[in-house]
Chain A
Amino acid sequence: AQTVTQSQPEMSVQEAETVTLSCTYDTSENNYYLFWYKQPPSRQMILVIRQEAYKQQNATENRFSVNFQKAAKSFSLKISDSQLGDTAMYFCAFSLISNFGNEKLTFGTGTRLTIIP
């Protein structure tokens, strides 16, 4: 079974600073996806960024980027120039790649990020 670990239950950072959220995972498989989801106070789950394990290049989406270390099974999220709207719970998630359409996401326990004005 796959597991996802987020070791930082809470973090806070000043507005405009950079913050990095940590995530590690455990799997014996070679082909998989990794994700970061954001959950603001509205409760909606919003995809922030995703990474295919077969790609060596780290994914980037505007101010959000990841540091994917496959050998170390590490998948951290960096938020640059943080904004008040980044205040949310962030979940790291893992999914195997399957041809059977039964892929499931396994989530970490989340990191509550607060951006301080």
Chain B
Amino acid sequence: NAGVTQTPKFQVLKTGQSMTLQCAQDMNHNSMYWYRQDPGMGLRLIYYSASEGTTDKGEVPNGYNVSRLNKREFSLRLESAAPSQTSVYFCASRGVGANVLTFGAGSRLTVL
């Protein structure tokens, strides 16, 4: 049982480049989330998807887009990366009626 899988684990980009972070879960969870973690700021919600076909903005959505491709997959896209998007990104999922998030291992993104 893999849980939540994120790829890539590490990525270095130049300012203005684009990239997509992939996330997949194999627990049949309805809800999926993308958070970013920055020193001294905890984890902040970027976007979430309560169910397949729906997405909603979180606390810090600017500069990002998401796609809930199917029930398993929830991708995060940076169209034009900026140094302020240097961070560690976490994907998480949650089942119906569950009150606990299961997290992926995180993706460290550096934008030069």
Contact = CB atoms under 8 A, between A and B. Distances in A.
B99 A44 contact: no
B42 A109 contact: yes
A104 B100 contact: no
B103 A101 contact: no
Contacts of A109: 40-42
Interface in B78-112: 88, 90, 92, 94, 96, 99-101, 103, 105-106
A52 B99 CA distance: 9
A47 B31 CA distance: 18
Given A91-B43, A107-B43, A109-B40, A101 B105 contact: no
A110 B41 CA distance: 8
B31 A9 contact: no
Interface in A50-81: 50, 52
13 contacts: A6-B42, A43-B88, A44-B103, A44-B105, A45-B103, A50-B100, A91-B43, A97-B99, A101-B50, A103-B99, A105-B43, A107-B44, A108-B42
B71 to A, nearest CB: 12
Interface residues of A, number: 26
B28 to A, nearest CB: 13
A108 B103 CA distance: 17
Contact of B100 (A9, A47, A100, A106): A47
Contacts of B56: 102
A110 to B, nearest CB: 5
Contacts of A35: 100
